[in-house]
Amino acid sequence: MKILTLNFLTCAVKACKSSAASYPLHPQEVELAKDEMEYNPQAMLNFLLRLDWAALRMTATELGFATLPEEMPTAEDLQQDELKMRQLHELLLETHVVSGKLVCGNCGHEYGIKEGIANFLLPSHLV
Amino acid sequence: MSRPEDTLVADIHYNVTESRKYTTSSRIQNVQASMTLRALELLDLSGPSFILDVGCGSGLSGEILSATPPDEGGPHVWVGMDISADMLDIALERDVEGDLLYSDIGQGVPFRAGTFDAAISISAIQWLCNAESTETSPQGRLSRFFNGLYASLRRGGRAVCQFYPKNDQQKKMITQAAVKAGFGAGLLEDDPETKNVKVYLVLTVGGTAQDGNSGDITNVVNGMEGVDVLDSRRRAREKSSGRGDIKPQKGSKAWIMKKKEQMEKKGKVVKASSKYTGRKRRIQF
C-alpha cells in the first residue's frame, strides 16, 4: 500500500468518524518496500492539493523518514524544484507498506496489512 | 441467465476456482473492459486522477485505469476495494498497479472527506441488495455505502457504477439510496430492452460550477451520441400537480364500472352491465 493511500485512510468504525484522533492511522511494525513507478508531475500536483501535510509528516516520522519540511511546499515551489518533486514522488507513490498493521488512535482497532493489502473488514459488533 | 447474487454471498461465491475462471475468461475480460471504458467516458476526467474502484476484484478494470494514455487524461492512480480474498489474491499475482483493500463496501468507505476525484464500480453494487445476516438489511448496507462514497468524493466529482439489477424494484432501491445520500443520480442504459442491457448509475457530487453547469445530472450525457434523455422527474412533478386522471368517488357508478372492468381483466366472472348497474334502489317503506 502506497504512503499516498495511507494519507487518506481513516478508521472504518462508525463511532470513530466524529473523532479527530481516528485520522491518520498509525502504522506499526511495518515492513516497507520500494516499487518503481513512472514519474508524472501533473498527477503529483493534483494529489498535492488534497494531501494533509500534518498527517503526512506524522506518518513519515513514525515510519522513520524525518526529512519533510514543516510547511507544505506550494505548487509553484515544486514546479521549479524538480528534485523536491521527485523526492515526494518517491515517498508517496514508490514507497509501499508490505506488511504490518494500522492502529486507530481513537478506538485502538488494529487493521492488519499482509502482502500490501490492508484488511478493513470489521467484526459485526463494530459495524 | 443465472444470478450468483441469489445463491451465495460475494466472498464465498468468488472462491479460488470461481475467481480464476472469472479472470481468465476472455468473454468476461472483454465485457469488463468495454464497460470500464464506457464508465471512463462518462466520468470525463481531464487529467491524471485518484480513483476509487469499488469491487475491484482481480483488477480487470483497474488495469485499464493504470493504462489510460496521457492524451486521454491518464494514467490514473487507483485504490480498489473488494470482499473476496481469492479475487484479491489473483490481483496480487497479476501485479496490478493500484492499492488494494480487503473490505466490505456495505460497511462504508473508510476514507477521509474529499479523497477521490472519481469512483467506478463494475458489476458490484447489486451484491449490496443481499443481506447475509439478520443484523443487516439491504437498505442499511446501501445507505452506508452511498453515504461513505459521497463523503469520500471531492466536490464536483463523479461516480459511475455499472450494475446488474434483478428487477425494476432493485434498480429503484439502489437509485433511491444514492439520491438519499445526496448524490445527483441518473441511470444510463446501453442496449435497452435486449439481453445485453447494461445499466450505469451515474452520480454527481455538488454542481460542477467550473463548466458553467447547474449540476443537473442530464448534463453528464450532453454532447454524447445516441443518448435519449427520459426525465422521470418531470413526469413525477406533473402527476403531483394534479394533471393526471381523477379517481372516481367510491361507490359511484363510474367507480363500479371501473371495478367491473378490472375484475373482467383478471379473468373473473362478472355480471353483464345494464342501465340498472350502479343505480340506487327506490326508498322502501
Determine the pLDDT at residue B215: 54
Task: Cell 442530464: give the residue.
Answer: B218
Q: Is residue B105's pLDDT more than 80? A: yes
C-alpha cell at B172: 429503484
How far apart CA A51 and CA B209 sit, in angstroms, is 23
The answer for B 115-154 residues in CB contact with A (under 8 A) is 115, 117, 133, 135-136, 154
The least confident of B56-60, B191-195, B266-270 is B191-195
pLDDT digits (tens, 9 = 90+) for B177-204: 998 888 888 888 888 778 888 899 999 8
In the predicted model, what is the mean pLDDT of chain B?
83
Task: Read off the amino acid at residue B251.
Answer: G
Q: Is the distance from CB of A22 to CB of B56 less than 8 angstroms?
A: no
Query: Residue B244 has what pLDDT?
Result: 47
Of all residues in chain B, the one with the smallest CA distance to A41 is B48
Confidence tier at B208 by pLDDT (50, 70, 90):
low
Residue B70: what pLDDT? 83
Helix/strand/coil for A122: coil
Q: Are B58 and B15 in contact (CB under 8 A)?
A: no
Q: Mean per-residue pLDDT for B127-150? A: 86
Give the 3-state secondary structure of residue A4: helix
pLDDT per residue as tens digits for the range A46-81: 888 888 888 888 888 888 887 778 887 787 777 788
Percent above pLDDT 90 for chain B: 22
Q: Which residues of A touch B (CB under 8 A)?
A: 1-2, 4-5, 8-12, 14, 23, 37-38, 40, 42-43, 46-47, 50, 52, 93, 115-122, 124, 127
Mutation target among B93, B103, B133, B147 for the A interface, most CBs of A within 10 A? B103
The identity of residue A1, as a single letter, is: M
- What are the pLDDT digits (tens) for B233-264? 655 554 445 444 578 888 889 999 999 999 99
| A37-52 pLDDT, tens digit each | 888 888 888 888 888 8
For residue A70, give the DSSP letter: S
Sequence-distant (≥ 6) Cβ neighbours of residue A76 within 8 angstroms: none
B105 touches chain A (CB under 8 A): no
Tell me the mean pLDDT in the region B171-180.
Answer: 90
* Cα distances (angstroms) measured from residue B200 to each of A3, B21, B192, B228, B272: 32, 25, 11, 14, 49
pLDDT of B222: 64
Q: What confidence score (pLDDT) does residue B263 get? A: 92
Distances (CA, A) of B84 to A74, A114, B79: 40, 15, 15
3-state per-residue secondary structure call for chain B: CCCHHHHCCHHHHCCHHHHHHHHHCHHHHHHHHHHHHHHHHHHCCCCCCEEEEECCCCCHHHHHHHCCCHHHCCCCEEEEEECCHHHHHHHHHCCCCCEEEECCHHHCCCECCCCEEEEEEECCHHHHHCCCCCCCCHHHHHHHHHHHHHHHEEEEEEEEEEECCCCHHHHHHHHHHHHHCCCEEEEEEECCCCCCCEEEEEEECCCCHHHCCCCCHHHHHCCCCCCCCCCHHHHHHHHHCCCCCCCCCCCCHHHHHHHHHHHHHCCCCCCCCCCCCCCCCCCCC
d(CA B100, CA A120) in angstroms, rounded, equals: 10
Residue B212 has pLDDT above 70, yes or no: no
Cβ-Cβ contacts under 8 Å between A and B: the total is 78
- The neighbouring-strand residues paired with A97 are A32
Model confidence at B101, pLDDT cuts 50, 70, 90, reads very high
Binned at pLDDT 50, 70 and 90, residue B224 comes out as low
From the CA of A1, how many Å to the nearest CA of chain B?
A: 5
The interface predicted TM-score of the complex, written ipTM, equals: 0.89
Pairwise CB contact (< 8 Å): A127 & B117? no
**φ, ψ for residue B200, nearest 5 deg:** -115, 125
Mean pLDDT confidence for B257-284: 90
HSE-up of B125 (CA within 13 Å, CB side)? 32
Cell 443487516 locates to B136
Residue carrying the nine cell digits 441488495: B129
Element (H, E) at A75: helix A75-80
- Distant-in-sequence, close-in-space partners of B249: CB < 8 Å, separation ≥ 6: B255
pLDDT digits (tens, 9 = 90+) for A83-125: 888 888 888 888 889 999 999 888 888 999 988 899 998 887 7
- The Cα–Cα gap between B96 and B63 comes to 7
